[in-house]
Amino acid sequence: MPARRKFWGWGEEGSGLGPEEVDALASLLRATLGVEPTALVEPPEVSELELAPPRIEPPAALAPLCRADGYERAAHAYGKSYRDLVRALRREFPAPPDLVAYPESEEDVSRLLEWCAEEDIAVVPYGGGSSVVGGVEPDVGAAYAGAVSLDLSRLGRVVAVDERSRSAEVQAGTLGPSLEDQLRPHGLTFRHYPQSFEYSSVGGWIATRSAGHYATGPTHVEEHVQALVVVTPEGVLETRRLPAGGAGPAPERLFSGSEGVLGVITRAWIRVHERAEHRAGATVLFDDFAAGAEGARAVARSSLRPANCRLLDPAEAMLSGSGDGSSAILVLGFEAADRDVGTELAHALELCRGLGGREGESRAGTAWRSSFIRLPYVYETLVRLGMLAGSLETAVTWDRFEELHTAVVEAIVTAGTDVCGGILVSCRLAYVYPDGAAPYYSFVGPARAGAELEQWDAIKEAASRAVLDHGGTITHHHSVGRDHRPWYDEERPELFARALGAAKRELDPAGILNPGVLLG
């Protein structure tokens, strides 16, 4: 029997940091924060949970697709945010889905939506379950007869590969590693690597406008989507496969970022690439983050197109094992399938040297990359060690970047000091553009048992206020979900909210799709 996913944390049961890694993490916390971690909280067992009985029962025809056991319901109750981990470790599961449905075809999705619309049952589309913003949490309130988590994992195949047009037709539930496994025999790759890569799906990426393609240029997944199939309560919508088009507003863009409220993305044609054969990478040290940001900006404005161009501040460099904490580090990487990219790297290094950068050990980049994919496991462990640990991200134009950055760090430090007594904040520029950057903030401080959610909310509130007040967006790539609603509502033009609401009423007249997310 293959290992199953943890219902309370990241990855498969049994996976995570080993004892030595936990000890090292604890030492790091002592050294950097001067706090003593708690003993590692024991993960919950399904048998410990007191789940309210399901309020609904599927009709006989749909019953074979549905599960209502404790494990399944608990595993679909939360995403993977700090608030989710804390509640799971507390054994608090007040609003699990009543049922988890596993459609095996688009027809199954249609039939499930039809039943739920008739019975006033909320439907929460579930891809890999990696949301950190409450996007898959079926806490839909008493207005619904119940809630179904619609798990798309059985729609996990690459259906067709069109090598001539270098594109692939993929079912929405395909997870990152499986997508790459299925493309590899064709010499192709999608090369989309959000931090959640291991446990996030193609459909989830598109529904949340995931980023992770490159660190520059077309970073977001929707820029690589050729066509979509969306199942709505009113029927199935399929767009035409086109390399580009200009016939009215692009239908794909209405569903990119729609977070399951307009329909269930079940299939996509995506643009894939030949696998890179040529690589060149380096790291550049800068005296501080501001100097490094100028270096990153110069590279982003140039005609070069690095696949990687991520700036780590000194704290981030140290915590990820990429540096000693004395410098900011710009991790540069170029790649191509068809030609040497050494000239591009040399040109980027020249730009950086002109701005005070000096070349560092290239090992640092590798350290950062492996730490990046490993981080969700570290994060889970931090919470189990009694730490308040989180991240938030935004994007802002360069003219306001410095001001925003200063304000966000200050907001986190002030609120964090207030509620935790002290907090460590680090930042990286996760993506850079000619016209701006997407800074990503991580923070860790001691949590107070029982008050974790209030501590978190205080920091998140302060940081989000700073983000919006200084021209940022509430999310560059984590999406809106339920958690970002107040700030999204403020950021989003009111007339656009009305237009979107009207579109939703047309496609989902019973209002069953992911209520509370984005709208309503």
Could you say which residues in the range 482-501 bind a second copy, by CB under 8 A? 484, 488, 491-496, 498-501
Q: Which phi-psi region, left, alpha or beta, contains residue 191 (left: φ > 0; alpha: ψ -120 to 50)?
A: left
Q: Work out how close the CB of 227 gets to a second copy at its nearest, in angstroms, rounded to a whole number.
A: 9
2 vs 248, which CB is nearer to a second copy?
Answer: 248
Residues 373-402 that bind a second copy (CB under 8 A): 395-399
The one among 81, 153, 174, 239 contacting a second copy by CB under 8 A: 239
Tokens of residue 94, six digits: 């007040």
The one among 21, 119, 139, 238 contacting a second copy by CB under 8 A: 238
- Give every CB contact of residue 450 below 8 A, 6+ residues apart in sequence: none
153 vs 239, which CB is nearer to a second copy?
Answer: 239
Site string for a second copy, 246-265 (x = CB under 8 A): xxxxxx-xxxxxxx--x---
408 vs 480, which CB is nearer to a second copy?
Answer: 480
If binding is defined by CB under 8 A, does position 434 make contact with a second copy? Answer: yes
254 vs 389, which CB is nearer to a second copy?
Answer: 254
Q: Work out how close the CB of 304 gets to a second copy at its nearest, in angstroms, rounded to a whole number.
A: 8
Region from 146-154, 179-187, 212-220, 285-293 binding a second copy, contact rule CB under 8 A: 212-220
Closest by Cα among 156, 134, 208, 89 to 452: 89
If binding is defined by CB under 8 A, does position 241 make contact with a second copy? Answer: yes
Place of tokens 């050294």: 31
149 vs 232, which CB is nearer to a second copy?
Answer: 232
Closest by Cα among 52, 74, 55 to 120: 55
430 vs 447, which CB is nearer to a second copy?
Answer: 430
57-72: string of b/e by CB count within 10 Å (b at 16+)? ebeeebeebbbbebbb
Residues 215-234 that bind a second copy (CB under 8 A): 218-220, 226, 230, 232, 234
Region from 94-102, 207-215, 313-321, 356-364 binding a second copy, contact rule CB under 8 A: 207-215
Q: Are 310 and 331 in contact (CB under 8 A)?
A: yes
DSSP H/E element including 426: strand 424-433
If binding is defined by CB under 8 A, does position 467 make contact with a second copy? Answer: no
Distance CA 516, CA 141 (A): 9
> Distances from the Cα of 235 to the Cαs of 259, 366, 503, 509, in angstroms?
18, 47, 14, 12
444 bridge partner residues: 389, 424
Distance CA 443, CA 462 (A): 13
130 vs 475, which CB is nearer to a second copy?
Answer: 475
Region from 2-10, 35-43, 142-150, 467-475 binding a second copy, contact rule CB under 8 A: 467-475
Site string for a second copy, 263-282 (x = CB under 8 A): --------x-xx--------
Site string for a second copy, 120-149 (x = CB under 8 A): ------------------------------
Distance CA 500, CA 506 (A): 10
Residues 402-431 that bind a second copy (CB under 8 A): 431
Q: Work out how close the CB of 187 gets to a second copy at its nearest, in angstroms, rounded to a whole number.
A: 13
Q: Which stretches does DSSP call E strand in 135-263? A: 146-151, 158-162, 167-171, 188-189, 225-232, 235-238
The one among 94, 235, 354, 421 contacting a second copy by CB under 8 A: 235
Site string for a second copy, 290-309 (x = CB under 8 A): -----------xxx-x----
Q: What number of chain residues touch a second copy (CB under 8 A)?
A: 95
Distance CA 239, CA 248 (A): 13
Residues 325-364 that bind a second copy (CB under 8 A): 336-339, 341, 343, 347
25 vs 236, which CB is nearer to a second copy?
Answer: 236
339 vs 353, which CB is nearer to a second copy?
Answer: 339
Q: Can you give the length of the chain in residues?
A: 520
Tokens of residue 111, six digits: 């039939």
375-398: string of b/e by CB count within 10 Å (b at 16+)? bbbbbbbbbbbbbbbbbbbbbbeb
59 vs 486, which CB is nearer to a second copy?
Answer: 486
How many CB atoms are located within 10 Å of the residue 355 CB?
Answer: 17
- Give every CB contact of residue 499 below 8 A, 6+ residues apart in sequence: none
Q: Work out how close the CB of 362 gets to a second copy at its nearest, in angstroms, rounded to a whole number.
A: 22
Q: Work out how close the CB of 467 gets to a second copy at its nearest, in angstroms, rounded to a whole number.
A: 11
DSSP H/E element including 359: strand 358-359
The one among 245, 354, 422, 486 contacting a second copy by CB under 8 A: 245
